Chains A and B, each alone.
Chain A
């Protein structure tokens, strides 16, 4: 096992409701900025929830050649923009990754947006006026393919639609490919655009809060829908050192588990198992962990189950390990969520500051963990766990560590 290369994160690209690009994002995140605003993407008449984490100031033309923008759905545009930012942030030029040793691995929940436009058109108008360009872009596999097409990468190309844990699945498999498959660079992360089906679906499950997301708060009312994309550049430590790249963190390993229990309800045992698997695979114990970036959706059931899982894994230390939820600020960016959260872990490690869980007012005895309420906290973070859980019992946990030679 010693011969296997170490894998590090050297580039971060974010498009989010609180900021686009690593620096604006991090500044807003550590300031506890909320990205929640009144929904404009679609008609919300008659619904209790009128708010969400839409990205308002995204102009795809800044990142994508104008003539190509109109061919791409919004989720692809977000992913290409975040990728472009990550490549630049890593100090790479696009040409240096345009080869068969670069893999593109992307996670999503809802897939590509032109599908929803088509379906709306089909439902309202019928089959006559369906736009050919949209049909071509409708299926979800376009997401990862569009990123690879844009940057001309020729290695593995995977779309993981493992719902709200998908970003971690992509980053984790990227780590596997670099260690075992001779891959030089991995562009890994997730992307999701605001999606009507998700909006009405979560409402019907009574999973949504009307106005704000309050993870771990006693009076939490649910999640908020968000959108965005987070992409990371992964590479071998040796390659990063050779080219003098800034290293945010080292990927130590990851763990998956499956509840095999219920399509929507979380199971604390399954959640705990993904954390235990991640620690075991990374050669760590629960005493090594300095930060848990929680899944923390703000729904009564998730937060309770996650707090229970954290307590079962971290035992006596559970209440002393900060376990923040940045979904309090961004809402739930679905397939992008765990990728953006992985970026947050990397930056917390790099800068020694932990973003807060905002909107926290009333402690909940069932969630008696330290969620870093309301104000960011300075703390040295050597090891961070990034939790990502999803419908279908898709549980994942990524382990990141401060880079030390």
Chain B
């Protein structure tokens, strides 16, 4: 593809440990966790009680009180993050640019809540009496459509539902669309909301921490035994560099490459070879045209699952050889939990913060070393570090793998 320079000019975030970029970055810096006892629903049927909940989130604060009644929690989370990103970017949607502005949203699970509630209402009230206004919410593209309606985005509105890698898959889609001139600016958003049914599902699958061990998100730690499920939303504005410069936008960094590969193994299981993730990381380095030695920092997919963290460690070592132990590799999911489709966008925003502040975020809850995870995970506390380039990984037991590389902006 014609290598256009694609840059990030706005970020917005609603995370369990901070709302707004400054609050989020400050929380990461302090190693403050957003994981706590769930208040959104009753956890008494479950063995596990904790999640990354955005408990301070008040949609009215961001969106006003009008027009919120028929919107679900995921939509309110992502509308808020998107609004913050647009404000942060100074990009004003007008009739002149809305046909050149698109949005792609990563979300997979949130719709389950709406389908459940809709079905429950049909059962309780009778199927002839369900609220028709709730029906559009039972399709996964609903949050993205609400973004387009609220902000008047008209080039396109797409949704990508690929689970753990959805944010990075959406990022690739957006970058391709800018490269192909299908749009000049694209909002990339990611969201999952926390709700009873998904918590129930992850519990039954025994994917959650606290079923086979301590209820804690401790990536790379020997005690790790599953994810802490989380909610959250993030959004970034991507633009062609020339356009961003023309409007004197503040440029956070550039997207050097993003690649996604599938690993056909078994549903719900990790491929022990983790070929797909390796292929993605290597393809990103190749596509960006940089040596592995130029990667300063990695924001890992590591989510406190036994295999996930060990496999990612191994693939990083295979990719970076002797240098692997010298690259800081942070697992921010230690602080915010695993937010599936939103994970990648939150990692990207963390990566931008790391470049902005030249800081390495900590992997908290790190106590017991595991020889299978012997990287420098920036344990316990954040520290100063040079961050000119940051590599972001995401993968999961579904078979999808993705990797992206960002670098600081150098005006040429």
Chain A residues packing against B (C-beta within 8 Å): 46-47, 71, 98, 100, 104, 109-111, 115-116, 118-120, 122-124, 127, 130, 132, 135-142, 144-146, 148-149, 151-163, 169, 173, 176-177, 180-181, 196-198, 200-205, 256-264, 270, 273, 390-394
Contacts and interface: CB of A to CB of B under 8 A. Distances in A.
B213 interface: no
Q: Across chains A and B, which 10 residue pairs bring their CB atoms closest together, nearest first?
A: A392-B145, A161-B140, A201-B135, A256-B156, A204-B132, A157-B262, A258-B157, A180-B1, A263-B136, A141-B163
Contacts of B296: none
A152 B263 CA distance: 8
Nearest to B283: A100
B162 A158 contact: yes
B130 interface: yes
B138 A197 contact: yes
Contact size class for B? Answer: 35 or more
Most chain B beta-carbon neighbours within 10 Å: one of A100, A122, A177, A197 = A197
A202 B152 CA distance: 26
23 contacts: A109-B139, A119-B197, A124-B123, A140-B111, A141-B400, A145-B262, A154-B262, A156-B260, A157-B162, A158-B169, A158-B173, A160-B159, A160-B161, A161-B139, A196-B119, A200-B127, A200-B130, A201-B130, A259-B148, A260-B151, A260-B152, A392-B142, A392-B148
Nearest to B341: A141
A163 B161 CA distance: 12
A122 B197 contact: yes
Given A181-B1, A263-B149, 8 more contacts: A100-B261, A123-B120, A160-B159, A197-B135, A256-B158, A257-B156, A263-B146, A393-B157
Given A116-B115, A154-B264, A176-B180, A145 B135 contact: no
Contacts of B293: none
Interface stretch (B200-208, B225-233, B326-334, B348-356): B200-208
Nearest to B147: A260
Contact of A197 (B118, B166, B169, B264): B118
Nearest to A156: B260
Contacts of A132: 204-205
A273 B99 contact: yes
B160 to A, nearest CB: 6
A141 B276 CA distance: 17
Contacts of A124: 123
Contact of A391 (B145, B162, B172): B145
A232 to B, nearest CB: 19
B301 to A, nearest CB: 16
